[in-house]
Amino acid sequence: MARPDRAILVAALTALLGACSLAPKYEVPQVPVADQYKQVGPWAPAQPADALPRDGWWHAYSYSRLDELQTKLAANNADLAAALAHYQQAEAFRKEIRAGLFPTVSADANAQRDRQSDTKPLRGVLGSPTAPRTYNSFTVGADLDYEIDLWGRVRDSVNAGNAEAAAAAGDLASARLSLQAQLSDSVIVLNGLDRQIDLLQQSIAAYEKALQLTEDRHTGGIASGLDVARAQTQLSSARSQLKQTQAQREITEHAVAVLVGDSASTFSLPTDLTAVNLPAIPVGVPSTLLQRRPDIASAERRTAAANARVGVARSAYFPQITLDAQGGYQSSIYGGLLDAPNHFWSLGPSFLLTLFDGGRRKAGVEAAKAATDEAGATYRSVVLNAFAQVEDSQSQLADFASAIEDQQAAADAAQKTLDLSMERYKQGAVGYLDVVTAQQTALDAKRSLINLKTQQLRASVQLVKALGGGWQQT
């Protein structure tokens, strides 16, 4: 049992735990935030925004192929697996640092036979001259070490570790969202290319019939060889465009294969002309974005971690106080080792204070403060870029919607012009140059319409990503 005076000393030292922290008071870096976005009016924020589900947002596109591939991405993507492993490392490191809040207890057992030198210095002066040269030593004991955290070094380290783990969780969520958006974008591009390929194949079939018509008219002496040459040029040009578009599709298909963890050499997706739905994406007020974006949360937590490390660096100026306790049994005879007379123990604090280090501690504090400034500046940059990305995506969606209306009208007019020119050519009222011009105009207008719709869908994916992921339809 410990002496009363020592017990009082231990209790007094323990009571000082949690007395202070040398870290500066943490405040989230200030960033200018508008009341509302330019492209929309004020919206009611989600309640609460940070509790909304992140996954499954792609279901709003009503495209079964996208749903299937997102499932494969979650199970097989190598980058996502690496991000998960990185988060697990950060979580393990957090637990390792947190262990500093508790005492370290170790047990040891030792059995040995020793022989002293006959000529050991001072053996006959400080020891008994009749002490045996050889003897046995059996020891069973336990040690306890506990740092008394008067200056908050351990607690600030734990706070920094917790913040880093939270930041790693944000990194994982950000990586997952980025990969989901990348896959959605690639699948939408693939769908648009399928539509362009289908359009080109239809156009090629029509151009083949037109070429046959000009050849028949040329054989009958009605049309010139120039008409045949123009028809052949138009057909060959369309076939070239088809090959180029098919090459783009293959490259996009390979990118999808990598995202879902398959080999590009064996992965293939059949043509799918199913229409992809354009979802209505609710846009919250700007302040909501600060709660929803995982990369913003990650940057903010790293700022908090850097702030806590300032306290760790400052604590180096103060003595490190450790409570050490040791106890056990020791005897030269194995039998009866655990008897009371063989009991030993020791208890007491130890102090360690660096008196001179050539400016190392000062440099450490300066580095920690600079790291906090860096993390704060990074946080502000991430936030400002996030708002810019939302504005960009909203602007694109608004502009594409207007452009699609005009392009649809242009495509309808071009098709009507093509029908009229072909009919008048059959009647001999116009030359084949008018037909070729109408064919090219109609094809370009229809391809532009498909491209605009694809770009609009891609912009919606980027908006979802910029807003931090999924939402609830309420």
Task: Please tell me the predicted confidence (pLDDT) of residue 128.
Answer: 59
CA 92 to CA 161: how far, in whole Å? 10
Alpha helix ranges (H) inside 220-284 = 225-259
DSSP alpha helix (H) spans, 40-102: 64-76, 78-98
The pLDDT value recorded for residue 64 is: 95
Sites in the chain below the pLDDT cut of 70:
1-20, 33-53, 122-131, 284-285, 472-474
Neighbours of 388 (CB within 10 A): 11
CA distance 400 to 398: 6
pLDDT of residue 132: 73
Whole-number pLDDT of residue 348: 86
Phi, psi (degrees; rounded to nearest 5) at 350: -125, 145
* pLDDT attached to residue 400: 95
Distance, CA of 65 to CA of 69 (rounded, Å): 6
* φ, ψ for residue 141, nearest 5 deg: -155, 180
**DSSP code per residue over 299-341:** HHHHHHHHHHHHHHHHGGGS-EEEEEEEEEEEESSSTTTTSGG
Which CATH number does 24-102+152-318+361-466 carry? Answer: 1.20.1600.10
Closest CA to 136 of 107, 115, 109, 108: 115
φ, ψ at 107 (rounded to 5°) = -120, 150
Pairwise CA distance, residues 47 & 50, whole Å: 8
CB 436 within 8 A of CB 234: yes
CA distance 348 to 322: 9
Amino acid identity of residue 348, one-letter, is G
Distance CA 237, CA 243 (A): 10
Cis check for the bond before 48: say yes or no (omega within 30 of 0): yes
Domain boundaries along the sequence of the chain: 24-102+152-318+361-466
Both tokens assigned to 25: 């008071």
Write down the pLDDT at residue 254. 97
Which pLDDT does position 50 carry in this prediction? 52
